[in-house]
Structure 1
Amino acid sequence: MKRIAFLAFAAALSGPALAAPVTYVIDGTHTLPRFSYSHFGYSTQLSRFDKAAGRIVIDREAKTGSVDVTITTASVDTGYPLFNEHIQGEDFLDTAKYPTATFVSSKVNFDGDKPVSVDGTLTLKGISKPVTLTVTSFLCMPHPILKKDACGANASTVVKRTDFNMGKYAPYVGDEVTITIPVEAIRE
């Protein structure tokens, strides 16, 4: 009888209660954060950053996790080199003084075993503000080429340029900016 009780106790310990967090390293070749805004109401302009790094930690059983993303602001790509320089200037990203933008989570919110949003702090141009990233897709599976576990997601939020001291030309050039982060990460 003691042996059966011990085996039941051991089985209980080996289940979800002992699930460990798993760390994934962001794949910079497939994580290219984008931002879009209204340009005088004529059109929605879309640009991206070509360099991002960070880590995602997730424990799907415990429904916890963390996200840490660092974006190299000088990697901004508007599709036009002269405009890249303009966006990198003091009126906007001021990349000489602020070479990175960061997002650091405070909480990952789940629906079942999938994250649906991530609360955290976005720091742009030295100014930190709370934001919530809405996760529109999430998938973890073995990577078919790398043969390692990987996770991917799409997440977005809307911020105001004026909140980050980048309000030049507002409201003609839209103050609201949609930030979208398509992210892929490989298990450490």
Structure 2
Amino acid sequence: MNIQTTLQSILIASVINLSIVAQIHAQEWTLTPQTYVGFNVKSMGFSIVKGKFEQVQSGMSFDPARPQNASAQFVLYVNSLSLSKPSLENMILGEDLFYAEKYPTATFNSHEFISLGNNHYSIKGDLSLRGVTQQVVLDTFLNPNSTNPQLMDVEAKTVVKRSDFGMKKAFGGIGEKVNIEISGQWQRK
């Protein structure tokens, strides 16, 4: 074996070892059932409707020392929406908005975590609603829980336009902008 081959072997072994170490330190997380994953729509400064997804599949691989390797995924079941104004359920789940019969789920898949310092992250990813995928950025805080190391507190939010996802534009005084929020805790798997 010559020196170049030996150095290449050492380099390859080091890269493999670093990859294994990075995987060992990343923790797998899922949102607790109590976590709020939902939205609110405002018009003229007043909140007119809030919705919470009661069924959410979630996963996050996260190591605070290596946020660039993190990832998060959500599947939101549209028919599980609990609304602050149940009288609007048919309209919200209908063809003009979520069109739940044709599109029973909404998804989010991250592709970049950017650390902003002090447990603050910008999480870029793709949100898919009604068969339309748009890039969004979740402004997120991931704080270690002070009483339970198996939990991590989460606060995340973003704003989207309904029409960007093929939903009917503002009607009946309902605003175009939708505030999407996650508030609760990740639990270590």
TM-score interval for Structure 1 and Structure 2 normalised by the shorter chain: 0.7 to 0.9
| Contact kept? 1:124, 1:164, Cα under 8 Å | yes
Q: Shift of the alpha carbon at 1:44?
A: 1.7
Aligned to 2:143: 139
Q: Shift of the alpha carbon at 1:115?
A: 4.2
Aligned to 1:124: 129
| Contact kept? 1:63, 1:113, Cα under 8 Å | no
Superimposed CA distance per residue, residues 111-158 of structure 1 (whole angstroms, 9 cap, x where no aligned partner): 3472421000001111100000001x32224764xxx61222110001
Aligned-CA RMSD value:
2.5
Normalised to the residue count of structure 1, the TM-score between the two structures is: 0.79
- Report % sequence identity: 26
Identify, as 1 or 2, the structure richer in helix: 2
Question: Quick check: 171-180 or 70-79, which moved more?
Answer: 171-180
Aligned to 1:72: 77
| Contact kept? 1:106, 1:119, Cα under 8 Å | yes
Aligned to 2:181: 180
Question: Quick check: 44-53 or 174-183, which moved more?
Answer: 44-53
| Contact kept? 1:158, 1:176, Cα under 8 Å | yes
The unaligned stretches of length 5 or more in structure 2 are 1-16
CA distance in 1, matches of 2:151, 2:146: 6
Regions of 4+ moved over 6 Å: none
What amino acid is the match of 2:177? E
Change (3 A) 1:98 1:143: farther
Aligned to 2:38: 34
Matches within 5 A, 1:26-175: 26-27=31-32, 29-39=33-43, 41=44, 43-45=46-48, 46-64=50-68, 65-112=70-117, 114-135=119-140, 137-141=141-145, 144=148, 149-170=150-171, 172-175=173-176
